[in-house]
A and B are shown apart, each in its own frame.
Chain A
Amino acid sequence: MNKLSELAKYLVDLKDQEFIELVKKRLDDGDDPMEMIQECNTGMVEVGMRFERGEYYISELIMSSEILKKAMVYLEPLMGDLKKGPSKGTVVIGTVKDDIHDIGKNIAATLIKGSGYEVVDLAKVLGLSALLNLTFPSMKAVVDALKEAGIRDQVTVIIGGAPCNEEVRQSVGADHFALDATKGVKICQQVYGK
């Protein structure tokens, strides 16, 4: 586990006032914004691990990402063309047809982004998110479409959300299922090797 900088520690401990003041101070002192973002990423990974250990709950996950958003207001404009630092890989994620629930997907996307991936399109990992069990046929349709397009083996498909389990995974033909966001991040790390 990487050592946490003071900035990362404030983020992990949800001390939003101290965090923002340190961001401003370090920018005034001429610190590299990219480095600061990397430190924040490390912090978010630690938040994810505390969630896995049952020390943190979704309340803390959301609070930490809201604090991070505030920092990005200062840091993002300074990034210019460099975006948010080197991306570890790209992940596409979406809620499946006939479902409208997106909270789980948003949490997963935030954590995956926070762990250093680009969450956009054209990717090696495809995430399908749902809450309703009537979406199983839609999930299968997506996997079948990948087969028809001849790219099924180029893409790792992860299904997520409350109704997913091993039986569902086999039935729709996905590669993995993840019942929470941190598992999703782990699978991305396996695929991209980092």
Chain B
Amino acid sequence: MTLQTELGMPLPMAGYMLAPFDNLADGLRGLNGIMVDIFKQPDKVMEACDAIIPHIVNTALALADPLRRYPIFMPLHRGNVPFLSPKQFETFYWPSFKKAMNMLIDAGYTIRAYLEGDWGPNWHHFREMPKGKIICDIDVQGDIFKAKEDLKGYQCIAGGMPESTLILGTPDQVRERTKLLCETVGQDGGYIINGGCSIPYDTKPENYRAMIDAVLEYGRYKDSIDFEPQINPNPPEGWKPLPKGMVTPWQVKRDELGEIKGDENLIRIGWETLEHMAFNWLWAWIW
């Protein structure tokens, strides 16, 4: 936040969501639970993933950047090999995930999908999504060069600098790696240099400096920066907002209260605002 307010640096993300399958697995069934579920009750798993979508999209939109500058973050746990086979991924993980992502994109947002582990067999699915709306963070276990081949022209990729090199390596090693990345995956745009996940806390400062210097030397598309941040407080035209999630709907409370003298809306508006906040707070915990 300091970097943003005092130095004008953009945030890497704002707001978050899990894939519906991850939400179900991590937050509700546990790892052992979900793995048994996909063998013993596969239909219910898919139904549950679909049922979760409106709740998590609701919460994601509530927490996202109101000016739509920054992408919504998604740490994606079980979409990697070897947790699920590619066939299990296509059956259980992708369909509800795609629906949920599309709902966020329809509301005018971009997405930052952190593909934890090795998503190599599965990331080609991102070609099905609207072009240029997603940054795919490619983790250390994934092949960043293959990711560029598979996603070039479709989505942006980020990554390529192993965290262990930033923490344990030398400035020369960092410089060499940066040069390689600029000359390969950095070509034709659509690439952000980064650790597999992020720049680690323990990065040696001289290594970070070496990376920045190497990018400035080898990674220029042109010499000027003529980029305007895109600020957009409004959803796209024709977008229909989702019904707001509530813990206890007003109607239930109203029936409990019986007769209300005076303007009911005075209470209803306050009630619904707090109930919507509580709803989002609860759903934000399920992961």
* Interface positions of A (Cβ within 8 A of B): 14, 16, 51, 54, 57-59, 62-63, 66, 103, 133-134, 136-137, 162-163, 165, 167-168, 171, 180
Bound form: Cα–Cα A62–B32 in Å: 6
Does B234 touch A at the CB level, under 8 Å?
no
Contact A63 B39 (CB under 8 A): yes
Contact A66 B168 (CB under 8 A): no
What are the residues of chain B within 8 A of A168 when measuring CB–CB? Answer: 164, 168
Bound form: Cα–Cα A134–B200 in Å: 8
Bound form: Cα–Cα A82–B50 in Å: 49
A107 to chain B, nearest CB (A): 9
Does B140 touch A at the CB level, under 8 Å?
yes
Contact A59 B202 (CB under 8 A): no
B87 to chain A, nearest CB (A): 10
Bound form: Cα–Cα A66–B169 in Å: 42
Contact B164 A134 (CB under 8 A): no
Q: Could you write out 11 A-B pairs with CB less than 8 Å apart? A: A16-B40, A57-B85, A58-B84, A133-B164, A133-B167, A133-B200, A136-B202, A162-B139, A163-B163, A163-B164, A167-B169
Given A57-B88, A134-B200, A180-B82, does the pair A62, B35 have CB atoms closer than 8 Å? yes
Contact B169 A133 (CB under 8 A): no
B258 to chain A, nearest CB (A): 49
Contact B200 A58 (CB under 8 A): no
Bound form: Cα–Cα A162–B200 in Å: 14
What are the residues of chain B within 8 A of A58 when measuring CB–CB? Answer: 35, 82-84
* Interface positions of B (Cβ within 8 A of A): 31-32, 35-36, 38-40, 81-85, 88, 117, 139-141, 162-165, 167-169, 200-202
Give me the 7 closest cross-chain CB pairs, A-B, nearest first. Answer: A62-B35, A57-B85, A58-B83, A59-B35, A57-B82, A133-B163, A171-B168
Contact A59 B164 (CB under 8 A): no
What are the residues of chain B within 8 A of A59 when measuring CB–CB? Answer: 35, 38-39, 83-85, 88
Apart from A63-B35, A133-B163, what 15 extra A-B contacts exist at CB < 8 Å? Answer: A51-B82, A57-B82, A57-B83, A57-B84, A57-B88, A58-B83, A58-B84, A66-B35, A103-B31, A133-B164, A133-B167, A134-B200, A134-B201, A171-B168, A180-B82
The 8 Å CB contact of A165, one of B32, B36, B39, B164, is B164
Bound form: Cα–Cα A50–B227 in Å: 51
Contact B168 A162 (CB under 8 A): no
A59 (CB) vs chain B CBs: closest residue: B35
Contact A57 B36 (CB under 8 A): no
A58 to chain B, nearest CB (A): 5
Contact A14 B39 (CB under 8 A): yes
What are the residues of chain A within 8 A of B32 when measuring CB–CB? Answer: 62, 66
Contact B140 A162 (CB under 8 A): yes
Bound form: Cα–Cα A51–B84 in Å: 11
Contact A62 B202 (CB under 8 A): no
A85 to chain B, nearest CB (A): 24
Contact B35 A136 (CB under 8 A): no
The 8 Å CB contact of B31, one of A62, A136, A171, is A62
Bound form: Cα–Cα A167–B169 in Å: 9
Bound form: Cα–Cα A14–B40 in Å: 11
The winner among A14, A51, A103, A171 for most chain B CB atoms within 10 A is A103
The winner among B35, B140, B165 for most chain A CB atoms within 10 A is B35
What are the residues of chain B within 8 A of A62 when measuring CB–CB? Answer: 31-32, 35-36
B37 to chain A, nearest CB (A): 10
Contact A136 B167 (CB under 8 A): yes
Bound form: Cα–Cα A134–B217 in Å: 30
Bound form: Cα–Cα A27–B102 in Å: 54
What are the residues of chain A within 8 A of B39 when measuring CB–CB? Answer: 14, 59, 63
What are the residues of chain A within 8 A of B83 when measuring CB–CB? Answer: 57-59
A107 (CB) vs chain B CBs: closest residue: B31
